[in-house]
Structures are given as structure tokens and as C-alpha cells.
């Protein structure tokens, strides 16, 4: 187990609705990144939070937003859901921005289906 937990594990939403996904990072990790993995694709970087501040963003529209809390847990919010938002959403935590990549741990992901 990586110590990174995500919830919910599966959910179904209707187009136009909003969704919030949650991630608890591994103890001692202050950096959380979110990735979207569509079927048949590799994970795509959405954004990263470091000590409650957004610290880098991929090519995703503003309706994808996030938050990191003082305990370093994080939320991903997606507004105005579209069918193409259906994907596995992965959270990854690491102990810092400059630590080696071999200290990045993924949660098991949240499967989102938009109908």
C-alpha cells in the first residue's frame, strides 16, 4: 500500500453536473499532483499543489480546479462535466517538489463516468 487514499472509488455523474474527488496524501508528503487517465491513454498531468498553493498546471480548462488543505490532503473539482471527462483520476503524493521521482506514490484512483 502506498498510503495515498482516494475517494470515491467509482462514481457516475450527468453531463453538466459538478464533481469533487478527494485525496489523502501519504504521511509527511506536502506535494500532491492530480492526473487524468482516459481509456487507452497514459495519465495526463492536471495540476500540482505544494503547501496549499497551486504549483504548476497542465493543459486543462479552468473548470478543473483544486484545493490543498493544511493537512496536505487535496480535492479536485470539475464543473460543467462533459462526456470526455469520463476517466480514471489519479492522485500522487511526494515529500517535496525536488525530491526524486522514486518517492512519488499514486493512489488507486477514482473512476468517473459522465453520462
Partner 1 sequence: RKEVEQDPGPFNVPEGATVAFNCTYSNSASQSFFWYRQDCRKEPKLLMSVYSSGNEDGRFTAQLNRASQYISLLIRDSKLSDSATYLCVPMGGANNLFFGTGTRLTVIP
Binding site for partner 1 (CB under 8 A): 31, 33, 35, 40-45, 48, 50, 55-56, 58, 88, 90, 92, 94, 96-102, 104, 106-109
Looking at the DSSP bridge assignments, the partners of residue 76 are: 21, 66
CB-nearer residue toward partner 1: 14 or 59: 59
> For partner 1, which is the closer residue by CB, 23 or 114?
23
Least distance CB 114 / partner 1 (angstroms): 18
- DSSP annotation of 83 reads G
Least CB distance to partner 1 at residue 13 (A): 19
**CA-closest candidate to residue 43, choices 95, 96, 89:** 89
* Contact between 107 and 92 (Cβ < 8 Å): yes
Amino acid at each position: 500500500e502506498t498510503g495515498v487514499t482516494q475517494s470515491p472509488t467509482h462514481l457516475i455523474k450527468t453531463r453538466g453536473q459538478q464533481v469533487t474527488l478527494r485525496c489523502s496524501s501519504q504521511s509527511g508528503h506536502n506535494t500532491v499532483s492530480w492526473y487524468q487517465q482516459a481509456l487507452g491513454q497514459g495519465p495526463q498531468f492536471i495540476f500540482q499543489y505544494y503547501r496549499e498553493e497551486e504549483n504548476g498546471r497542465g493543459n486543462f480548462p479552468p473548470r478543473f480546479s483544486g484545493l490543498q488543505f493544511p493537512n496536505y490532503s487535496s480535492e479536485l473539482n470539475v464543473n460543467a462535466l462533459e462526456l470526455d471527462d469520463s476517466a480514471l483520476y489519479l492522485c500522487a503524493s511526494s515529500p517535496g517538489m525536488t525530491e526524486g521521482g522514486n518517492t512519488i506514490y499514486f493512489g488507486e484512483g477514482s473512476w468517473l463516468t459522465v453520462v
